Amino acid sequence: MTPARFDSRFRANQYGQDKMAGRTAPFSRFEFLIAWRYLRARRAEGGVSAMTWISFLGIALAVAALIATLAVRSGFRHEFVGTILGANPHVSVQGTPRYDDAGRLDRTLEDYAAVAEDMRAVPGVIHAAPVIRGQVMATHDGWNAGVEVVGMAAEDLADVPLVAEPEVAQGDLSRYAEGVAIGSGVARDLGLTVGDSIRLISPDGARTPFGTSPRVGAYEVVYIFQVGRWDIDRTRVYMPFAEAQSYFNRDGVADAVELTLADPEAVDAMALPLLQATDARVTLWSWRDSNGAFLQALTMEDNVMFVILSILVLIATMNIVSGLIMLVKNKSADIGILRTMGLTEGSVLRVFFICGASVGLAGTAMGVIMGCAFAYWIDPIFEFVNFLAGGGVWDPSVRFLSALPARLELGDVMSAVLLSLGLSFLVTIFPARRAARMNPVEALRYE
């Protein structure tokens, strides 16, 4: 070999060692090539493809379970709050408590029309309607049920979103002034259809010298609605406002003025402007006051489920650790050779970090696809599960909603993705550091 050729080979070898010794940028192409070679290696070549697949499937299933749970959680909360806001007032304006001549607590409003006008003038209030409310017994053909009667004018009922545009409707809402509108649960319990007559019995009826006698009224059912919330469909009966005043002995007064706000979430901030808008002495009762316990229970359940499923994701990512430890053990001779060729500790660490992070990234991507698909096709999936269980899996009387909801939100998906990737990258560092700190001499001692 001529001196010139020897010098050129020496310089080329020295350049390669210098390049591998730290003069290349982190995560260079050769580091990805080595990591990819290790990931796809067969067991006969010292690879751990079985552990790689186990880690991949574990992470994918954990992420899918987390996304599916978050979607159902968001859907349940959205539907629950939606039915609260769609069929109930955002704020009820009532009179200050006082006792009438008979010693009974009275919260009625005598100047309800003026209060309603004052409330409509408040910015953020889109509707104000005086109402009458009462609990009565409903009967039909020997069937009895306790119901809540809401007396409301026809034009006001047309502005109640879930009643005017329910999930299922029968009859004609334009005939509301001729009879009553009832929930689908009331109709089912009493065997009622549109055109039938429902009898309402109130214990607070006409006052006579011999005491108060029950009041009985018969009304035609002109409209049947289903809003999707069990406690509303099962108990709600709407009656024209003037008829309700007469039926409940509320002549000239209203039980409350019910408000609909443009932003229901800002109900707390609206309290002071509403109180200052009228000269009448009133008290406010918001939808948060009525359903605060349910919302707090949902929030607590959300937090607990996220923590539990986060632990599930952590357990799945631990498979990456065991797989990388086996990979480092099987590739100890390769590591020793690469180190003697000039590969730095940082490059070795990055090679094995890429191996573990790639499994976590691929598993997370598959989990996102599976979780989103579950949320999108939740109805046929749930119907199949209900079929296998013989029906009765979902009880609306307990869960208040007529169907299992799911709602994909970007924030929920991103939280699952960030959690999975963060844990995958974190647990990968420890076996990668072990590989980087391996002594080349010890690695090649028995080779």
Among 74-83, 98-107, 306-315, the range scoring the smallest mean pLDDT is: 98-107
Domain for residue 3, yes or no?
no
The 10s digit of each residue's pLDDT in 196-235 is 999 999 877 666 665 667 788 899 999 999 887 777 888 9
Model confidence pLDDT, tens digit, residues 429-447: 888 888 777 776 665 665 5
**pLDDT band, residue 11 (cuts 50/70/90):** very low
Confirm whether 201 is domain-assigned: yes
**pLDDT: is 253 or 328 the higher one?**
253
Residues 335 and 434 in one domain: yes
133 contact partners, CB below 8 Å, separation of at least 6: 148, 149, 150, 151, 255, 256
Using DSSP, state whether 360 is helix, strand or coil: helix
Q: Is the same domain home to 319 and 430?
A: yes
Q: What is the pLDDT of residues 310-330, one digit of tens each?
A: 888 888 888 888 777 777 777
| Shared-domain flag, residues 326 and 409 | yes
pLDDT of residue 447: 56
| Helices 49-87, 345-376: crossing angle, 10 deg rounding | 40
pLDDT digits (tens, 9 = 90+) for 156-203: 998 888 888 888 899 999 999 999 999 999 999 999 999 999 999 987
DSSP bridge pairs for 260: 127
The answer to whether residues 400 and 261 belong to one domain is no
Please check whether residues 406 and 265 belong to one and the same domain.
Answer: no
Same domain, 383 and 345: yes
In the three-class reduction of DSSP (H, G, I as helix; E, B as strand; rest coil), residue 153 is classed as coil
Residue 399 domain-assigned? yes
Are 75 and 153 found together in one domain?
no
Domain end among 280, 313, 346:
280
Total domains in the fold of the chain: 2
Are residues 348 and 272 part of one domain?
A: no
| Among 162, 90, 101, residue whose Cα is nearest residue 127 | 90
Token digits for 390?
């013989």
- For residue 22, what is the DSSP state? I
Note whether residue 143 is domain-resident: yes
Helix segments in 271-331, DSSP class H: 271-276, 287-330
In a domain, 9, yes or no: no
- Expressed as residue numbers, the domain containing 135 is 97-280
Q: pLDDT value at position 20?
A: 46
How buried is 375 (Cβ within 10 angstroms: 0-12 exposed, 13-18 middle, 19+ buried)?
Answer: buried
Ranges of H-type helices in 121-213: 154-157, 161-164, 184-190
**Domain match, 118 and 196 both:** yes
Last residue of a domain, one of 280, 305, 336: 280
Domain-embedded: residue 2: no
Q: Both 254 and 158 in a single domain? A: yes
- Check: CB of residue 199 under 8 Å from CB of residue 207: no
246 with 142, same domain?
yes
Domain boundary among 255, 280, 305: 280
Kindly state whether residue 86 falls inside one of the protein's structural domains.
Answer: no
**Does residue 366 register a pLDDT over 90?**
yes
Q: Can you read off the two tokens belonging to residue 2? A: 């001529």
Most confident range, picked from 69-83, 129-143, 277-291: 129-143
Mean pLDDT (the chain) is 80
Same domain, 349 and 276: no
More confident residue, 258 or 349: 258
| Burial (CB count within 10 angstroms: exposed 0-12, middle 13-18, buried 19+), residue 234 | buried
Using the predicted structure, report yes or no on whether residue 246 has a pLDDT greater than 80.
Answer: yes
Is 15 part of a structural domain of the chain? no
**Which pLDDT belongs to residue 41?**
63
